Amino acid sequence: MDERLGTSRAPGRPGGGEAVDEREAPRAPAVGLTSAEVASRVAEGKVNDVPARSSRSIRDIVRANVCTRINAVIGVLFVIILIVGPIQDGLFGGVILANTLIGVIQEVRAKRTLDQLAIVGEARNTVRRDGATVELAPAQLVLDDVIELGPGDKVAVDGVVQESDNLEVDESLLTGEADPVFKRPGDKVMSGSFVVAGTGAFTATRVGRDAYAAQLAEEARRFTLVNSELRNGINTILKFVTYAIIPAGIALIISQLAVGSGDIPEAVRRMVAGLVPMVPEGLVLLTSVAFAVGVIRLGKKKCLVQELPAIEGLARVDTVCLDKTGTLTETSMDVDEVHQIEPGVPVGEVLGALGAADARPNASMQAIIDAHPAPEGWAEQNSVPFSAARRWSGATLSDPAGRTSTWLIGAADVLLPPGHAVLVAVDAYGSRGLRVLLLARCSVPLTEALGNPALDTDTVTPVALVVVKQRTRAEAPATLRYFAGQGVEAKVISGDNALSVSAVARGLGLPGSERHVDARYLPERPDQLADAVEGNAIFGRVGPQQKRDMVAALKSRGHTVAMTGDGVNDVLALKDADVAVSMGTGSPAARSVAQIVLLNNNFSSLPSVVAEGRRVIGNIERVANLFLTKTVYSVLLAIVVVLANVPYPFLPRHLTLIGSLTIGIPAFFLALAPNAERAKPHFVRRVLRFAVPCGAIAAAATMTSYTIARSVYDGNLAAETSAATLTLFLVGLWALAIIARPYTWWRILLVLAMAVSFAGVLVIPFLQKFFQLQLVGTTAPWAAVGVAVAAGLLLEGIWLFTRRAATAQPTT
């Protein structure tokens, strides 16, 4: 424990101290910069100008929505149609333009929402300027600023320590090493680390993009869909479609030239008609729009989504790990009782003096300070701040008579050995859901106590039990019931006494709250630890590294884990969880690694995030069935046309009309509709299970109708195309009617509106001419309807099969 006694890590280690004669001299006085010095550094560009976490620039948004693989493919085909004409066959180009504009507008709206929320939830830094302390945003820091540090504070820029009062910094997010590093004046601190105990101040030596963690943070904090199963699945589909387009286009143009007697413009139009519907152009757009709208909706509920995949991830979660304090209970506490063990000791004065000695009190110590103000005549000689790893704090105090004693206050079951008589009373209070702190006299100096984790009864003398009452959150029971009803298992992982945590959880109605474990006795072997974590619901006395190990154990068993927390001791577990959620009043370190920050500090907001994620995933999967059905039947139609050596049955305008009415327009409504279906894994597999057979049925029905029409009309290509278009539209409409289930009034109206719109095209002369559609006679049109009905019945069978398969498939 030499680091705690004042010896930093070996030279050369990130954040560790170097030899005294090699240390960088302080670059600014402890009083901080003057306003003139700040202005000079701003003018020189020496500002912490790291981009905002929440979003990318508008320029990046426009580039990402315009410069896509899909737009490149469709753009080339659009230019070809502009060359050969007519313009009606280039309608798909206008659809792509509209899609791109909608995507840009929605993402810019989401960016503004995120930026505004990020400002509200931004961690502020305490900086010394002009001889006073001020609260500044990270972007306002300049080179040589003197920045104060306390427990839970995140180090925003690189620097050199100026002052240290038992300052301990956790650099595990940078170095991977879990042990905190004791920092002395002259030691370096690095951006991305955070304070676990003590206080101090440092001078900024590197700011902005020069800081150690700045580049990594800039990459990690973008408004992105990276690591999203949904987006990755869609990209996989698009990759294969793109590879298939080139050979399909070559085969189509050759076949259409052969059957069209060398009519190049007509062959080109038919080739483009075969290629355009292969590309699920609206699917990527709707995915981006659905996520962006989700961000805006959650923003209105004061939920800051710092990484978009968190919306999807939380919808897939099957285990949520909750920190008790700040999540199930309020962060503020009250002293309920002081039970004196050793008579004659002025307990109230000792507690008041300990509170006065704590520069950054936690919630428990603040409750003691509120109940016991600082007494007169007491002086602090030395102190040790509270640490989540130690679970106690202490101070050497001299009383008004000049007597000096060392006092410790913290977890009784840590300061006392197992079986101690006092622990019986501690457990009695804990069974009522109360937090109990032990005030004890220590017979050895603080430095020796720090180096002796197994203090015995000869070292520690119990003096009093401080009973602290915590207020449970009113919304917690309903939120826990929601998770239980959704099949999400809740586990409470806390640093408090397991018995006390169990009592609180039991009062809130948490399932399995009677299964509580003291984490100090958990097995260390990963497989045994995983068994213990899976089999119990309440864990007390959990250290920061143990929280991380428990999250890893759950993930090793295939669980998708969400972790909520607000303290510095939660940071490691938050970082490793699939989804990290922090309260807005949480420590800056916790908020910096969280993907979702509940700015209203309301645990009941989590169901809203889950519901939003399920809406996005469920609806995107719903519309993906439509888009990929179109891709499948387009590919199959192209293959059949090439093999049969017949004219392609459609012009681009026909497939634009069918795609818009059966997929494009309805998909916008369906993608943003309410949807509470539970998220399931294997997105691509499930979508293809429906889309491939449905696309095959649609292609077979279309070619059957087209073949019948060719025998009826004998070379009237416009009439043949009209019959094939009618069949494909009706099959597509039937697929839409299936995907729109379960029906609501607006979904029924949506399907009917699409049917009426197509009917209008068939009966209004202008539209008939514009789209080159006209049903001739009755034989072929009624045959087209009959074929479509038969295909629709087959679609129903496919739907029943896929629903049964989905029901049998486990959720995640």
The greatest distance separating any two alpha carbons of the chain, rounded to the nearest whole angstrom, comes to 117
Contact of 477 with 428, CB cutoff 8 Å: no
DSSP designation for 5: T
Would strands 489-493 and 460-472 be described as parallel, antiparallel, or unpaired? unpaired
Give the integer Cα–Cα distance in Å for 786 and 182.
81
Indicate if the alpha-carbon torsion angle 40, 121, 157, 150 is positive or negative.
Answer: positive
Nearest 5°: phi and psi at 69? -60, -40
Kindly name the residue from 153, 187, 323, 496 that is annotated as catalytic.
323
Give the integer Cα–Cα distance in Å for 223 and 236.
21
Would strands 596-598 and 579-583 be described as parallel, antiparallel, or unpaired? parallel
Contact of 278 with 571, CB cutoff 8 Å: no
Give the integer Cα–Cα distance in Å for 557 and 139.
41
Please give the span between the terminal C-alpha atoms of the chain, in angstroms, as a whole number: 43
Q: Which of 61, 140, 73, 92 is nearest to 650 (CA)?
A: 92
Q: What is the dihedral of CA 507, 508, 514, 517, to 10 degrees?
A: -110
Give the integer Cα–Cα distance in Å for 502 and 517.
9
CB neighbours of residue 624 within 10 Å: 28
Does the annotation count 578 as an active-site position? no
Would strands 146-149 and 194-206 be described as parallel, antiparallel, or unpaired? antiparallel
Give the integer Cα–Cα distance in Å for 310 and 466.
40
Contact of 351 with 367, CB cutoff 8 Å: no
3-class SS of residue 517? strand
In Å, how far from its chain's centre is CA 290? 15
Contact of 256 with 647, CB cutoff 8 Å: yes
Contact of 627 with 619, CB cutoff 8 Å: no
3-class SS of residue 443? coil
Across 188-235, where does the E strand assignment appear? Answer: 188-189, 194-206
**CB neighbours of 99 closer than 8 A, spacing ≥ 6?**
281, 282, 285
Residue numbers annotated as active site: 323
